[in-house]
Amino acid sequence: MRAAKSIGIIAAAMLAVGAGAQTAVAEGPNDRIGVSGTDLGTDEIGRSSNLKHLANLDPTGVLATGLGTDIAFQDDKAFVGNYDGFSIIDIRNPKKPRTIVQVSCPGSQNDVTVSGDLLYLSTDSSRSDDSCSSTSQSATVKESWEGIKVFDISDARNPQYVTAVETACGSHTNTLVPGSGKKAGNDYIYVSSYSPRDTYPDCQTPHDLISIVKVPKSNPTRAKVIDTPNLFPDGGYPGAPGPTEIADRSATTGCHDITALPHKGLAAGACMGDGIIMDIDDPERPRVIERVQDTENFAFWHSATFNADATKVVFTDELGGGSAATCNAEVGEKRGANAIYDLSRNGALSFRSYYKIDRHQGSTENCVAHNGSIIPVAGRDLMVQSWYQGGVSVWDFTNSKKPREIAYFERGALPEGVGIGGTWSTYYYNGHIYSSDIRRGFDVLRLKDRSTKKVDKVVMDELNVQSQPRYKVR
């Protein structure tokens, strides 16, 4: 397809990051099996014996100073978000990932989703306009912009900016719901956003909604918001003080993240103060069918993940907003954790247990439950997940009342004063685990465990974790 706009991007031929920044990882004195948490020094790696670190791509080029964020996959490529834009990485040889191109397009979050020849990029910071050369501008200015940008990625070496769609309160995250039946040929993007203020012309209170962007794939320049359904007619959870300042329980003012399960016609939403299940059989008219709250331990409902057969949902609590040190004995095992719910056939949720890494981190290490994905193994419920400076955790929740960690990978604490760091998102894709580290770039891991013996036979050609596919597990 032809792009409607052009943007200033750095072409692949001009990048030196492909070979120079790629580092194959060999075991050495800094690779400490069985060591974790506060026992690790700054440049040391701790891991379980069944999770090997294969490669790392250091941050370089136009994205060197931006924060690494989310990942999407298509064929043999990874698309990695960054506060300064996004990159496309060749992962044909997972031991030697290679940067194909970097796109400079600053904006907070820059979460990515891919669909065929299109890439959807979330902008959740108020900008002077919708271009990739925009500058920061106050949300109190009516002309300021934030929302969804659409790129044509049919030529991975030369992505082209197609169009942009402004959405209320921006786009913190975005979720793809592919159209089917009479709606085939359209993508529906559920845009999650929050934090309204009466002084923001385009982000007014109350904000109990999501934005639905419809994208005709044959003509994406016609993308537009078709509805802003109110998911919380009663205003949602009103919020409450917690046991400490970082543990205040957030009021619901929109959603942080939504994960769709298109083949089941379901979606799970993590909406600050509420966890919800939606019927999305008609993607243009999502309908809330279940809602739960945790007024004792959850501070901020952050994200949701279905297991493979949609009998369970894992919700995460981003206690402290991702910048606090919460993986310690003082905070405990029930706050800043995952909550595991059983899901009935009619969409009812029943709480079963919490899961939190027990590898205690230091007082300067931001650590809390964050983004992860299912590892598709027959008869088991396995998930790989990021915990910021707590690293990567692979855990088993087959018994939803007794979850347990089966593998881990983490780095020692960043030097004091550097700020937040650690792994933002960690996902399983075609036999390997890929991680986007906020400060340290792109990591490739390999899990070798008895429980995942046949997982390599599950072949994926595209993965957007917030749009979970139907896995043909073996």
pLDDT tens, position by position, 437-457:
999 999 999 999 988 888 888
Q: What are the Cα distances from residue 272, in Å, to 144, 241, 319, 368?
A: 25, 14, 11, 15
Listed by start position, the domains of the chain span: 1-21+69-230, 30-57+236-474
Average pLDDT over residues 394-418: 97
- Asked if omega into 283 is within 30° of 0 (cis), the reply is no
Q: How far apart are CA 334 and CA 325, in angstroms?
A: 14
Residue whose pair of structure tokens reads 């979606």 in the numeric block: 267
Does 14 have pLDDT greater than 60? no
Give me the residue label for tokens 């501008």.
Answer: 137
What average pLDDT score do residues 137-141 get? 98
C-alpha 186/C-alpha 422 separation (Å) is 36
14, 23, 48, 192 from 17: Cα distances, Å: 9, 11, 30, 33
Q: How far apart (Å, rounded) are the C-alpha atoms in residues 22 and 16?
A: 10
- Strands (DSSP E) contained in 11-146 are 22-24, 31-33, 45-47, 51-57, 68-74, 77-82, 85-90, 98-104, 109-115, 118-123
- pLDDT tier at 241, thresholds 50, 70, 90: very high
Helix (H) or strand (E) holding 226: strand 224-227
- Taking alpha carbons only, the member of 163, 184, 267, 171 closest to residue 211 is 171
How far apart (Å, rounded) are the C-alpha atoms in residues 395 and 393?
Answer: 6
CB 278 within 8 A of CB 287: yes
What contacts 417, CB < 8 A, 6 or more positions away? none
Residue from 182, 221, 113, 189 nearest 465 by CA:
113
When pLDDT is cut at 50, 70 and 90, the band that residue 148 belongs to is very high
CA distance 46 to 391: 9
Average model confidence (pLDDT) for the chain?
93
CA atoms within 13 A on the CB side of 202: 23
pLDDT value of position 471: 83
* 186 contacts 216 by C-beta, under 8 angstroms: yes
Q: Is 30-57+236-474 assigned to CATH 2.130.10? A: yes
What is the rounded distance in angstroms from the CA atom of residue 356 to the CA atom of residue 371?
13
Q: How confident is the model at residue 42 (pLDDT cuts 50, 70, 90)?
A: very high
Question: For residue range 247-285, what is the model confidence (pLDDT) as tens digits?
Answer: 999 999 999 999 999 999 999 999 999 999 999 999 999
End-to-end alpha carbon distance in the chain: 37
| Number of helices followed by number of strands (H, E) in the chain | 1, 32
- pLDDT of res. 26: 59
Spatial distance between the Cα atoms of 136 and 202, rounded to a whole number of angstroms: 16
Q: What is the pLDDT at residue 244?
A: 86
Q: How confident is the model at residue 11 (pLDDT cuts 50, 70, 90)?
A: very low
- Is the pLDDT reported for residue 290 higher than 50? yes
Residue 38 backbone dihedrals phi, psi, to 5 degrees: -70, -5
At 63, give phi and psi (nearest 5°): -105, 10
Residue 311: what residue type? T
Range 1-21+69-230 has CATH code 3.40.630.30? no
Length of the chain: 474
Q: What is the DSSP letter of 209?
A: B
- Angle, alpha carbons 129-132-136 (nearest 5°): 50
- Position 304 confidence tier, pLDDT thresholds 50, 70, 90: very high
Query: What dihedral do alpha carbons 282, 284, 285, 286 form, nearest 10°?
Result: 80
Residue 3 CA to residue 10 CA, distance in Å, equals: 17
